[in-house]
Each structure stands twice: as structure tokens, then as C-alpha cells.
Chain A
Amino acid sequence: MLKTDVNRKIERELLGLVAVTLIIGWTIVASYTGLLTPLPLAGVLFGCCVIFVILHGLLRYLKHGGDPLLLPIAGMLAVIGLVFVSRLQPALLLYQLTWFATGAIGFAVITCWLRKPEQLRLYKYLIGICGLLLMLLTIIFGVNIGGNKSWLVLGQLRFEPAEFAKILLVIFLAGYLEEKGKLLADSRWGTGKFTLPHPLHLGPMLVMWGIALILLVIEKDLGAALLYYSTFLTMLYMASGRLFYVGLGSVLMVLGGWLSYHLFDHVRVRFDIWLNPWAEPEGIGYQIVQSLFALGAGGILGTGLSTGSPEFVPAVHTDFVFAAIGEELGLAGTLMILLLYVLLIYRGFRAAMLAKNEFCALLAAGLSSLLAWQTFVIVGGVTKLVPLTGVTLPFISYGGSSMLASFIILGLLHNISENG
């Protein structure tokens, strides 16, 4: 049997497991809430399974040799997200299914037309400029929805460009750092045993730092700023292998954070909430305190799907969906979710290690770092391990932009993993 066939067979079996999870989850939710009459429920179940069948069929048709774990893991996360949307905001279930379908289309498009992601390398500057333009558009035309001025509205369509800009940025950085990596690694300033990189080669870092600060100040998007900057530093280290850049970058980050803490109210408020949400548990600390209550209520085994009270947490179906999972599925559920992310990210890095060229390696590693940082920042945020910043939980949170962007990343990783 060919490797392709083996991989797709594994994938089919794992997708079967995902479908079983979906059916069990929805049956429980429907039997408790009674909000979903059997017919639309069956329709949604059917629609979801059809998407898996089509994607799997497509990969078979393309004789795609990509990593068989990627799609089932992402599918499992998306399915858990769908189950929780139907439990928390049943009215949004059809939308979320649509976003899931959109994500699947994004994944399909990438797997069909970008089988060789190294093609992207030629257009790295164009892609970088597109990314910057997206950000610029947001700065100029951005609309404030839910506290972040990070939305673009085109007629009926609303989306968050930052979700896509981050991917374009990683592609650009992969191309740019692959080219300049050696230069950055060998850059010497001074003589003797201890040498520093030449100041001229710190330019890219300063530019990135500036972009992160602009995001922070103008768009008030602390989450995106943090995410971009940490992904950039991670990629810079991977390309150059020099901890000096990470050290200097971290110093700059702390400096920027310190300055903005003293200059901007919205940063200060977020930071103060993190330090002590119990100072104003009914005021600014309300959301995080409610999130902690939800996680605590879950205990080890959870209250059971549909029987907790996660609705006490504001924005529970988007940024705080992890708190709802913690309450109803308990520590068992949250650790399982973390394990799924760990597996997904590990497989992403594995693709990077096995990639044939440096661009693909850096791209896969960059995208995996992005997923890792995003998950860490939001899970850490709702559990008060790190200051809360508004980013979504990849594949699980309700929202179209986030879902599509996550599946595009998945598609890229999938293609890179094929060439290992």
C-alpha cells in the first residue's frame, strides 16, 4: 500500500471518531435543552459529517500524502466548538456551521492550489505588503465591536483582518528570515570572544516592535500585538539560532509594555485586572472572576454537558468558551483539549523538521508557533495565568474570521507535511 493510502486510511478512522463525538455531544445537549427539534438537529449533524466526507474524499482524489492527524485533530476541536455553541448560544449554531463550512472550503482551496507552499516564497514582499495593507485598512476603516477597533465591515460581511494579516505576516517572515537568516546568525559587532550582532541588523526587530505598538495604541488590540510580536521573536530565533535577539526583543517588549501601562488606560486596566481581579469582582474584574468560578465549579469531572451555569461568564461562547468547557467537562475536558492542541502543534513542528527546504520548515514552524502562542495566550488569559487579551481559541471559539484563518493555517501545514 502506498504511504498516501495508509495516511488517508488512518485519517478516515480518526474522522469516524470525531463524528461519534459529535453525535454523542449533540444528543446530550439536545436532550437537556430541548431547544433543537430533532429535524434541524439531524440536518446539522448530517451537514457536518458531509463536510468531513467531502474533505476526506478530496484528499483521496488529490492523492494527498499529508499528515493524517492534522485534519481529525482540527475537526475534533471544531466539533467540540460546535457542540458548545449549540449548548451556549443555540441561535448561533447555524452560523457556526456556516463558518465551519467556510473554513473547510479554505482548507480545500489551499490543499488544491498550494500543494507546493514554497511558491509563496517568490511573492514574499507582495504578501508582506498585503498584510500591512490589511492592518492599515483596519486602522483607517476599523469599526469598534466588542471593545476592539479591529473589525472591517463590507455590507453584510464583517470580519477581523488581523486574523488573516497574521498568516500573511508569518509567510512574509518565513521568506524574509530564510533569506537573511544566515546574515543575522553571523552578524558580528566588536571583537574578541563576546560579540554582538551589528546594530544595522536589528532593523527588522524595531519595525516589528513598532507595528506591535501601533496595534496596541491605535487599535487597542493587546491580544494581536502580543501574538504578532511573540510569533516574530520565535521565528527570528529559529532563523538565526541566537538567543541574543530573543533577549533584546523581550527587553523591548517589557519596555513597550511598561510605557503603555503608564500611558494608556486600556492597557493599565487589563494589567490591573490580572494582578488582582478580586479587588473589583463586581466591576472590571467581573469577567475573569466569573471565568474562575466556572473553572472551579467544573472540578475534576465537570458538571456534565448542559448542566452547569457557564452563562454567568460574559462572552462565554467566543473568547471564554474554554471556561464553559472547564465547567461542564471539568479538568478531564480541559486537559483533553490542551492535549489536542499539543498534538496539533507537535505535528506542525514535526512537518517543519521534515520539510525539504528551509522556507517550508520556517513557515511550518512559524504557523505552529502562531497556533501555540494564540492558544496559550487565551487559555492562560481566561485562567488568569497571564493578563487577559482578546484572542480566540483556534477552531473552537465562535466566529467566522477565526475559523477560516485557523483552517488556512491547517491547510498550509497539511501541504508542508506532505513533502516530508
Chain B
Amino acid sequence: MKESIRRVTIFLLGLFIVLGAYLTYLQAFQGSKLNAHALNRRSREMSKTVPRGSIIDKNGNNVVRSVPAGSGKNAYYAREYVDGAIFAPLTGFISDKYGKTGLENSYDQYLSGIANPRFQLGPISRLWQRRGYNITLSVDGNLQRTAYQALGNHRGAIIVMEPGTGRILAMVSKPTFDPAQIDKSWQDILANPESPLLNRAIQGLYPPGSAIKPLVAAAALEEGVSNLQKIYKSPGYLKIGNYTLHEVNDQPLGELSLEKALALSSNVAFGQIGLDLGRDRVAKYFDKFGFNREPALALPAEKSRLPQFNKLADGELAQTAIGQGELLVTPLSMALMTAALANQGVIMKPLLVTAVTDTQGQTIKTFKPEVWLNPVDPQTANTVQALMEEVVAWGTGTAAKVRGIRIAGKTGTAENPHGPAHAWFIGFAPVEKPRLVVVVIVENGGSGGAVAAPVARQIFAEAL
């Protein structure tokens, strides 16, 4: 009996070792992850006594900061949002009742200060005056305001980024909300059928329409399926088995080079190119341009939705090549695709936060530009660039033209089951050394050339 009692002792005390090891894992290694969880109320509770860090734009201006409020025993720190509605898709909100979203959530560890090693010292940390870290954005506040104004009263989104670094300079989503009023307006926001909480720039899923054609052109050039000499014929429609693909208004466009096909946005020519490429190669280039991946952004971006290429009928493949059918993309995906064409075929990782600093201005962490994907050769990218310049010069995108600046672009008018077509414009400038990628989508706005291109024009004019 004594022998079995000894064994039981070892077994039961062994269980406690397991328990101790698990507790160590939980408290020492999982702690920061648990602290950062959106539903954890502790950082919100703490932000009342320990001021949260500020969110600062590229030019050093405050976007969000903590200010003392109340007095005496009820003194606490409140969050102050500068132009809250304009920056809301970026900052998100922080609320006692409704949790936290946006950068307030994803950078909570820094903003609240929990990531500060001093905060890990338990009771000893109280010897210092505690304050959260500041974060600096790549966003240019002035450009953000310009873009916000340019979109007017439309629903939609705008992304402006630097193709060479991946830095996002502006990210607009409309309709929006005021993060400072979130507790008061919560019910109205939830009841609003236009979902103001949705960050359309990274979470909105739309058919890209003709705005996808530069990708198809790049794929065709890279694969040798097409070249600048090849001529396509458009009688106004393309019969594929039982399915017929139509030009806009069934207008016969006659004989088309690749340049003319893109400038006039010929559905027939690009449907044909899609068929020439075939399912596998079309799928390959969507993957190469990052549509199948989650870009590691500081905010929760949606992945674009691609059709199951191997199950597509020929008609559906042609539809996909003109950006219709089951294909749904986010404006961010489109911006990254455009960036590849602007940047010698290289896509940089999208960057939103460039640095974390403490109150004394000491840098805690910086985020450097990094290469993400390399979908096509520089040659291919430059060829497509030249084609896209023609779109703005004399094709469907003339409304984006700014005197004295060489702009490349592509419009899209995406049919969808929710009403009038979505208006797209994707583009970059100046062509000789692209500094700016602009993606505009206007939900149910109608024609891309007429509605989205002028919005992009205002941004190009302001920024360059």
C-alpha cells in the first residue's frame, strides 16, 4: 500500500507542476495578448488614470490625444478627437460600453502603455509617472481632409499611398461617425443602414469592374499572350458558347490595339484576353498581385473574394477578366495592385504606423518599408504604365487630368445587384516617378470616368 501511496503522491504533485507550467505560460507569455483583447476593459479603465498616448499625423499634428477632465475626486482623462469623423476609419473609438476599434484597438498596448516594460514591474511601476506611448501615422492630415472633402456626400472610400514605400497617406471611408460621441450615438449608428462603422477602404467588398483590366493586361504581357502590336476586333459583343459579353451600350469599337482596348475599356478585347490566358493563369496573377492574401496592415482588412477559377465556365472567366461575376475586391487590394504597376512591379507592405515614441520623444519602435510581393517584371509594369497614361490622356479617364502632371489611371463602372453601378478610379502620378497612388470608389455613383475620376483629380491637384 505504501508503494502505491508514494506513486499517487508523485502523480498528484506532478499535476501541480503541469498547473504551474500552464500558469506561467498564461501569465508570463499570454499576458500581453490578453491585455490587448478588444473586450478587455482594463486598458479603458486604466486610461482614466493613466493618460493614453496621442495619435499623431505625418506632420506632427495631433489626431487624438488625452486631456484631463472632471475635477477633484472625479478627475479623469478623456479622449479628444481632432476632426473625429474625418479620421474615424483610422482611429476607431474607445468606449466603456462598446469596446474599442481601429488603431485605438490594434495599438492599444502602446497607447495604453501596457507594452511599456516599466508597467510590467507590478506595484513598483507606480513609482514613475505613467503615460501611454504616442504613435505616429504615415497619414498626412491635410491630404486626409482634402480626400474627405473631395468625396463629397457620396458613400465610398479613398486610399492614397506612396508606391515606393507602401506608406498610406490618406484613408477615407464614408459615411463615418464621430468617435467622441460613440456612447450617445451608438443606437443611431447601429440602426443606420449605411453602416458607418464599416471601414470601406479596407473592409468594403466591391466588384472592381473595368478597373481590374490593368492586371489582366499585365498578366497577358508577362505571359506573352498579348503584345502592343496585336489587334482585337470588337463588333460590340463577344459570343462565348451560350453566353454573350457586351461592350458598353453594345457599341462596336472596331479594330483595337491593346492600348486602345484599355483606353476605351473594351469588354470584348479583355474578355478575349481572359480566355486566351485561361483559368490557371488568371488565377495565378490574382494571387501574385496579392488578392488572395491578407496584407499585414495595422487595421483589420478583409481579404478579397475570388471565384473558384477551376470551376468557372468560359463565359464566367471572361466576366472575371472584366471585373464582374463573383469577383469582389477591397479598395486596399486595388491600391496595392496599382502600386505594383507604379513601382516597377514591386508591391511594398502597406504601412499606416511609422513610429512609436514615448513622451520625451524617444523612439521605441519604428516601422520601415518592406517589400511584400513582386508580381511582374519592371518592363511589364512600365508598359502597362504607358497604357494607363493614355487612359487619362484621351480615354475614359480624362476627368482626372491635371495640367502639368503626367497621370496614369483606369476607370471602372462596376455593375452590382445593389443599385446603380459603383464608380472606380485607380491611378498614380507623376508617371515619370510615381509618388502617389490614388484609389477612389463611389458606391452606386454611376460612371467611373464621370464620378470617380474628378474626385481623384482633386487629390492629385492638391498633393502634387
Contacts and interface: CB of A to CB of B under 8 A. Distances in A.
Tell whether A pairs with B.
yes
Interface of A: 181, 234, 237-241, 281-282, 289, 292-293, 295-305, 307, 309, 312, 326, 330-332, 334-335, 338, 341-342, 345-346, 349, 352-353, 358, 361-362, 365, 368-369, 372-373, 375-376, 379-380, 383, 385
A368 B33 CA distance: 36
A361 to B, nearest CB: 6
Contact of B120 (A282, A301, A375): A301
B221 to A, nearest CB: 47
Contacts of B27: 295-296, 298-300, 326, 330-331, 334
A181 B123 contact: no
Pairs A-B, 7 closest by C-beta atoms:
A296-B34, A301-B122, A304-B123, A331-B27, A349-B9, A372-B12, A241-B4
B9 A346 contact: yes
A304 B130 CA distance: 15
B5 interface: yes
B68 interface: no
Contact of A238 (B4, B28, B33, B41): B4
A224 to B, nearest CB: 19
B35 interface: yes
B72 to A, nearest CB: 15
A334 B120 contact: no
Interface in B1-31: 1-6, 8-9, 12-13, 15-16, 18-20, 22-24, 26-28, 30-31
Contacts of A312: 41-42
A260 B33 CA distance: 35
Contact of A365 (B8, B15, B122): B8
Given A234-B8, A331-B23, A301 B124 contact: yes
20 contacts: A238-B4, A238-B8, A293-B39, A296-B27, A296-B30, A297-B35, A299-B31, A326-B27, A331-B23, A332-B122, A335-B24, A338-B23, A342-B16, A345-B12, A369-B8, A369-B12, A372-B12, A376-B12, A379-B19, A383-B19
Contacts of A379: 19
B20 to A, nearest CB: 5
A300 B23 CA distance: 10
Given A238-B4, A346-B9, A353-B6, A296 B23 contact: no
A403 to B, nearest CB: 22
Contacts of A181: 1
B58 interface: no
Contacts of A353: 2, 5-6, 9
B122 A303 contact: yes
A240 B5 CA distance: 10
Interface in B165-190: none
B123 A302 contact: yes
Given A298-B31, A338-B20, A293 B26 contact: no
User: Which residue, of A326, A341, A349, has the highest number of chain B Cβ atoms within 10 A?
Assistant: A349
Contact of B1 (A293, A330, A361): A361
